[in-house]
Structures are given as structure tokens and as C-alpha cells.
Structure 1
Amino acid sequence: MKIRTLLMIALFLGLFAGFIWYIGWNGSMLWHAFFPDLPAGLFWAVYLFVALGYLLAMLLRRALPYRVYTLIKLVGSYGLGVLFFCILLLPVADIAGWLLVAGGADYDTVVKGIGVGVVVLLLLLLLRGSWNAWSPVIRRYDIEIEKQAGSMRELRIAVASDLHLGTIVGKRHLGRLVERIEEMKPDLILLPGDVLDDSIEPFVRENMAEVLGRLQAPLGVYASLGNHEYIGGHIEEYVERMKAIDIEVLVDRSVHVADSFYVVGRKDYAAERFTKQGRLGLDELLADVDRTLPVIVLDHQPHKLGIAAQAGVDLMLSGHTHRGQMVPNHFITGRLFELDWGYLRKEAMHAIVSSGFGSWGPPLRLGSRSEVLDIRVSFGS
């Protein structure tokens, strides 16, 4: 197994290095066409800093001053977006250029013309992707749960998954979340995982709790863990800091809300890889839950919806997928998950997966939007 893992890592690194070289080679041709008197080494120095900045920042996080680390990571995050789009655009551009030159067109003219076209298209994609990432929309879902919920007939829930608070998604975007939810005036606020991006340090250092703590609802604010909380570690500290701002993180735990319904927060699926305890099965987790009342489950990754439906869950809320974040990645998430975004009725259960509020890596979205869910629930009478 170790040899296989090493071979997979070597293959990935080889492909990554190949992509880096291929994109850089294309860029160096355009650089030489427009700046023939400037050294190619200057281009490669700038290019490699942008292309590898994110990886460099993550590797040197503990060695770099915090502000230097955040700057390099920010530049590198956009660099990842540029690399991604270049992988899609450059093969088409190279084939077109080769055909034009083979047809008798002047080489320098072709390089400049196609190169400028690619750069302009890249800028447009970056601008649109940034707009989609930083301009959240509210998506509404109206569902009916046939169970009675005490004297409660209706419930309005605001849901925001995948905030990814850290060095890139910070207090400004978090403020947008608070504003959207304040406008909604929900009865209940739910955060199904990946509130943090990785390390808890930016959350603490930038005092993001000050903004996040403004989230308030009559029936409370509850969160569950996502895979990024496990990647960053410091679960206990995170839970305590959230508790200090009146947000309960439900770690394989249920709460009975207003004697009317249950909110259940599962450990993320990643707990089975990152911790010795793993996570409880749904039947064990719901053993003390009165399933004649509505049951809402926060499970960050939308795995095994059928098992949740059979266990008596009425509403399952997830995120994680980002709907691929940038096309055509949604084709991959669509194959990995039965539901990678939107709504699905599974037997009596309503499953809703959000594309998330924040972003991972580049703060860019194409084919998906930063979103907050407005879920209107009506109960049986």
C-alpha cells in the first residue's frame, strides 16, 4: 500500500510539474514576443511566485511572518485560478496558433494575437469568478414535513455552509453573511460545517468571532463540523470559541428545540480518517431522539442519503461540494455524490446541499455562486 501511495504521489507531482512547465512555456513565448529585451528569468521568477505561491505559503506557514504568509497565500490563490483556466484555454489556443502558422500566418503576429486574446479572456473569467464568489445570493426552498412540531406550524431556517473563514475569506465577506441573514429574520440559523478554512489562527487573530457573533435567531444558532475543521485541528478550542458567541457546535449530538423538533449535528465523515473514535452511526446518534417529531440533521458531506432517510431524518442539510466551485468541476462532484447541489426528495426525507458561502483556494466561482439558503418549513397539523 505504501509503494502504491508513493507512486500516486509521484504521478501527481509529475503531472503538476508538467502543467506548470507547459503554462510557463506558453507565457514565456508571449513575454518574448512583447518584451524581447527583458530577460526570460524575470518572467519565470514572477510566474513561479504566482503559480506556486499558495503551496509555498502553506509549506512555510510557521516560518513566515503572519502578514507575509497571508499576502503570499492571497497572490497564490489567484494564481491557482489562473493555472486552472490556463489548463482549459491553452490547448485550444495552441492548436489554433499551430493551424494559423501552418497556413502561412506570421509567427510573431499569431503569438501576440492569440496571446492577448487568452489574457483578455483570463481577465474576464477572473472578474466574473470574483463577482460570483463575493456577491452572495439567497436561494429559497419551500418544503413540507408531515410530522407535527408541537404548536409550531412553520419554521424559517437560514443556512450557510462552507464559510471557509481564514486568510482569504475574512471579516468583510463574513459581514455580507450577517447582513443577508439579518434581512431574512429567520427563526433558526444552521451552519453545516467548514466554518473555518484550515488553521484557527486567522479566526482568532482577526477577531472574526466579533462579526460571527452577530448571527442571532430566536431559536438559536447551531453548527456542525466539516472536514476543514479536522484538517486544521484545534477542534476543542474551536467549539469553545463558538460557544462563547452563543453558537453551539453539535459534535455527534442532538438538541431538542422549543419542545418542537430536533437539530442533530454529526461529526464530519473525515472524522473516520482524522480521529481514532470516528463518528457515531445515525441509528446510535438518534437513539434518544423522539422520531415522531421532525428531525433536522447537519451532515457536512452528503454521503449515504438513503441511510439517513431510513433512519427517520426529515431534513438533511449539507455542503462540502461547492458544486465544483468552477466549471467543469461540477461534472466530477456530480459523479461523486448522489446530490452535489440543490434539492432531492429521498423517500420522506428532504435533502438540500448548498454550494457554500465562502470558497476554497482561489476566491473564484464559475458555474456556482456564493449562497445563503432560506428554507421555509411547514409542518403537519
Structure 2
Amino acid sequence: MKWRMIGIGIVFLGVYAALTYYIGWNGLVFLDAAGAAVNGWAYWPVLAVLAVAYLAGRLPFGQGRVTRFLKVVGSYYFGLLEYLLILLPLADLAVAIGTAAGADRTGMILGSGWTVAALLAFILLYGSWNAWSPVVRSYELEIDKPLGENGRLNVIMASDIHLGNIVGNRHLGRMVERMNELKPDVVLLPGDVIDEDIEPFVRNRMADTFGKLKAKHGIYASLGNHEYYGGHIEEYVKRMKAIGIPVLLDEAILVDGAFYVVGRKDKTAEGRGQGGRRAVSDLLSGLDPAKPILLMDHQPYGFAEAAAAGADLLVSGHTHRGQFAPNHWVTKRMYELDWGYMRKERMHVAVSSGFGTWGPAIRLASRSEILELTLVYKPRQ
């Protein structure tokens, strides 16, 4: 197994190096056509640094401003890398066809090169706007269980905030402000609140910003895969508890005697050395089935099992709806529901594209969002 993993790693690095060279070669061809004098001894090292910046910034030693800068730069490089690998072959094909048809090669290179640059600029600007300009999506959902005095429960949810070196207090403040405007009865945060490393969360006092969030019946969180990746779960849970936000670790809480909030550990817990997690049927057994059950499970799997176990509302995230188009075509085929709403038997399912971003703050074919899920009591006929 060890040698197999080493072999896979070598192949991956080889392919990645070849793709980086392909991008760099295209850049040199374009700069040469534009008449720019390029020093290869400077050009290639700069490109190499960009290519490894994100990984270098994650090294477990020497954490500081330099490594944080590398993470940010590397994240945006990865974001644009996907589009470079889509656009550059098309540009090369256009140059080849145009040259074969008798067009001036230099003119074709310049035309296709500037087109690629303009498209990348559009992707960066429009994608950033999508990422930093969250929307509220509202659903009214009927359930056949009593919901208190007025027969309604306003559930506000945000997943995948990914607080870290890119998504920070400013974006978190937007979320807190918008949520408070919605006057929530309860707030649910189903995982990936932090982006692996808890250090930016602590250093930038993001808990203080979170502490301004208010809800009549409380705020509750569960774990996502990134909390597991970072390895700071115990400290994260402690810091959230200190500001009145319990992180539910395969736990169910009866809230004000009216409804249950249940938080599952993330599916990552099923991996080796992560301690496992309880089956949803075991987690919900013993709860009063006459009371509404709101279930948080970060990754959108096991809808049928959750419905059979008696959940009335299941909220998930994780997918980001691919975050970058055309990745949403992939996530749509990977999950029963990768984004939006569906009814699974008597259970309502809502999967969010997330409030923050993984990697660069770029979204195409997705938006940063908050979900407003208004539960309305309607007796069964």
C-alpha cells in the first residue's frame, strides 16, 4: 500500500508538472507574439512558485504572514488553473485552424491570447462578486407536527462558511447581519464552519463576530469534513460553546420542549482513526416522534435512512454546487441532491451551496447563500 501511494503521488506530480509547463509555454508564446522580452530564468521560477504556493503554505512549520500569503495566492492559482486548462486547448486549436486557413499566425496568437485573458478577468471579477454577495433563498415547508403557539418555526441555515485566511470577519459579519434581519427562531450551521486550520479563527477573533448572532431558540452547529481535516475539533467545540453555540457530536437536543435539533458527526468520522459515528436510526431512536426533528448532516447522503428514522427536516451542505462551473455537472451526478430542495417521503431536504468558499473566493453557476426554511404546521388530512 505504501509503495502504491508513493507511485500514485509520483504520477500525480508528473502530470501536474506537465500541465504547469503547458500553461507556461502558452504564456511564453503569447508574450513573444506581443513583443515582450521575457527572461526565462525569472519566468519559470515564478510560475513554479505559483504552482506549489498552496501546498507550500500548508506546511506544518513556519506558519506566519508568508505562508498565509502563499495559501491565498495558491488558492487563486488553483481556481484559474481549471479554466486555463479549458480555454488554452481551445485557443491553441483556434490558432492551428486559423494558421492552416492562411491567417497570420502572430495575429491569431494575439487574438486568442487576449480573448483568454479577457475571459479569465471576467471569471475572476464575476466569480468574486458571486462569492462575496450572498443571497437568501426562502422555502415554506409544511409538516404535520405542532410548532408552538403560532404554528410556524423560522429556521435559518448556512453551511460551509470556511472561515480562514480568505473568508474572514468581513464575510462572517455579512452573514450575521443578514441572519439577524431574518429574526430566526433557530439557526443551524451544518459543518465546515472553519476551513481546516483554527489559527485564523482564533487570531482574528471570529468568535466575537459569531457572538453577535441571535436566535430565539438558539444556534446549533455540527461538524463537516474540514473540521476533521484540521484536527482541531476539541478546541473548535470549546470555543463555540464559550459563545453559546453547541456543536452537536452525534447528539440530539430537545429545544424548549418543542422540537429536536440533531447533529451528526461528519461522514469523515467513518474513516480509519476517526472514531466512527452513530447510525441515524440509532441517533433518532428514543426521540418523541410527535415533536419536529431537525437533523444536520454535513454531506448529503442517506436521505432514505434519515426519512425512515423519523427526521422531518434534513439540512446539508458540502457540495458548494461545484463552486466553479462546469463542476456543478459533476456534483449533480454524484449526489441524490447536490443543491436546492426535495421531498423524501415525509421528510424535507435542503442542501445549500454554502456561505463561504473553499480555495479562492470565486463562484460560477453558484452563489453564496443563506437558507430561510419556514416550517408551517399543517395537520395531516
TM-score of the two chains, using structure 2 as the length reference: 0.96
Displacement of 1:359: 0.4
Q: Is the 8 A contact 1:156 1:188 kept in 2?
A: yes
What aligned pairs does 1:184-333 form with structure 2 within 5 A after superposition?
Answer: 184-273=182-271, 275-333=273-331
d(CA) in 1 for partners of 2:10, 2:339? 33
Displacement of 1:22: 1.3
After superposing the two structures, state which structure 1 stretch, 127-136 or 24-33, moved more: 24-33
Displacement of 1:27: 1.1
What corresponds to 1:149 in structure 2? Answer: 147
Structure 1 unmatched ranges of 5 or more: none
Displacement of 1:380: 3.3
Q: Could you list the per-position Cα deviations for residues 198-221 of structure 1 after superposition, in whole angstroms to 9, with x for gaps in the alignment?
A: 111110011111111111101000
Secondary structure at the aligned position of 2:19 is classed as helix
1:70 counterpart letter in structure 2? R
d(CA) in 1 for partners of 2:5, 2:139? 43
Secondary structure at the aligned position of 1:78 is classed as helix
Secondary structure at the aligned position of 2:367 is classed as coil
d(CA) in 1 for partners of 2:237, 2:135? 28
Displacement of 1:21: 1.5
Secondary structure at the aligned position of 2:376 is classed as strand
2:79 counterpart letter in structure 1? G
d(CA) in 2 for partners of 1:259, 1:274? 37
Secondary structure at the aligned position of 2:267 is classed as coil
Over 3 Å counting, the alpha-carbon distance change for 1:142 and 1:43 in structure 2 is same
Displacement of 1:73: 1.2
Residue 160 (structure 1) aligned to one of 158, 161, 186: 158
What corresponds to 1:62 in structure 2? Answer: 61
Over 3 Å counting, the alpha-carbon distance change for 1:276 and 1:116 in structure 2 is closer
Q: Is the 8 A contact 1:152 1:260 kept in 2?
A: no
Displacement of 1:276: 4.4
Over 3 Å counting, the alpha-carbon distance change for 1:274 and 1:35 in structure 2 is farther
What corresponds to 1:345 in structure 2? Answer: 343
What fraction of aligned residue pairs are identical, expressed as a percent? 51
Residue 179 (structure 1) aligned to one of 167, 177, 180: 177
Q: Is the 8 A contact 2:281 2:305 kept in 1?
A: no
Residue 73 (structure 2) aligned to one of 64, 72, 75: 75
After superposing the two structures, state which structure 1 stretch, 270-279 or 108-117, moved more: 270-279
Q: Could you list the per-position Cα deviations for residues 270-320 of structure 1 after superposition, in whole angstroms to 9, with x for gaps in the alignment?
A: 011154420001121112311221111000001111111111111000000
Displacement of 1:4: 4.5
Secondary structure at the aligned position of 1:248 is classed as coil
Q: Is the 8 A contact 1:230 1:274 kept in 2?
A: no
After superposing the two structures, state which structure 1 stretch, 309-318 or 14-23, moved more: 14-23
TM-score of the two chains, using structure 1 as the length reference: 0.96
Displacement of 1:78: 1.1
**Correspondence 1:50 to 2:50:** yes
Over 3 Å counting, the alpha-carbon distance change for 1:153 and 1:274 in structure 2 is farther
Q: Is the 8 A contact 1:151 1:260 kept in 2?
A: no
d(CA) in 1 for partners of 2:337, 2:113? 39
Q: How many residues align?
A: 379
What corresponds to 1:28 in structure 2? Answer: 28
RMSD: 1.5
Q: Could you list the per-position Cα deviations for residues 333-352 of structure 1 after superposition, in whole angstroms to 9, with x for gaps in the alignment?
A: 11211010001100001011
Displacement of 1:363: 1.1
Q: Is the 8 A contact 1:171 1:211 kept in 2?
A: yes
2:38 counterpart letter in structure 1? L
Q: Is the 8 A contact 1:252 1:280 kept in 2?
A: yes
d(CA) in 2 for partners of 1:48, 1:107? 28
Secondary structure at the aligned position of 1:247 is classed as coil
Residue 90 (structure 2) aligned to one of 89, 92, 112: 92
d(CA) in 2 for partners of 1:45, 1:81? 20
Runs of 4+ in 1 over 6 A off after TM superposition: none
1:318 counterpart letter in structure 2? S
